[in-house]
Amino acid sequence: VVKVDGDQEDGSVLLTCESQDKDVRWFKDGKQITSFHKNKKKLNLGSSIKDPQGIYQCQGSSNISKPLQVYYRMCQNCIDLNAGTVSGFVLAEIISIFFLAVGVYFVAGQDGVRQSR
C-alpha cells in the first residue's frame, strides 16, 4: 500500500510504501525510478507546485503495491477546458456574431431608406 503525505513543511509531496520489506523499488507510470530519500520506503516527489502527476507503485521482494494515481491541481481559479466546453464557447461566439451582423444590417438598412412626406 502506498500512502500520500502532502503536508510537508517545505511544500513537497511524500509517498510512503507500507511494505514489510526494507528494500523497496519505486515505479512511476510503469518505469522504475530512484528514491533519493534516506529511507528507501519513502519517495519525495518534490514540490506540489511542480505538479507531480503519475501512477506510482512500490515493490518489495514479494509483491508490488496497487497503483496510486497522483494528480495535483495547483491552480486556484482554473477552468477545466474539455472539448465540450470549448465547443460551447465557439458556438456561443458564432451565434453572437450572427446576431450582431443581423443588427448591423437592419440598422444600416434603415439609414438608407428615406420616406417622403
Task: List the CATH number of the domain containing 21.
Answer: 2.60.40.10
pLDDT tens-digit readout, 41-78: 888 887 766 677 889 888 887 777 788 888 776 666 66
Q: 62 and 9, same structural domain? A: yes
What pLDDT score was predicted for residue 81? 78
pLDDT digits (tens, 9 = 90+) for 17-48: 888 877 888 888 989 888 777 677 888 887 76
Please count the structural domains in the chain: 2
Domain check: are 47 and 6 in the same one? yes
The pairing of beta strand 68-70 with beta strand 25-28: unpaired
- Per-residue model confidence as pLDDT tens digits over 83-106: 998 999 999 999 999 999 999 988
Q: Which domain holds residue 8?
A: 2-70
39 and 21: one domain? yes
Same domain as 53, residue 18: yes
Do 54 and 90 belong to one domain? no
63 and 105 assigned to the same domain:
no
pLDDT at 90: 96
Residue 6: pLDDT band (50, 70, 90) is low
Question: In this structure, what is the dihedral angle of CA atoms 16, 18, 21, 25, given to the nearest 10 degrees?
Answer: -40
Residues 66 and 97 reside in one and the same domain: no
Is the overall model pTM greater than 0.75, yes or no?
no
Residues 57 and 89 both lie in one domain: no
| Better-scored residue on pLDDT, 47 or 14 | 14
Show the CA angle centred on residue 81, arms to residues 56 and 95, nearest 5°: 165
Question: Do 11 and 64 sit in the same domain of this protein?
Answer: yes
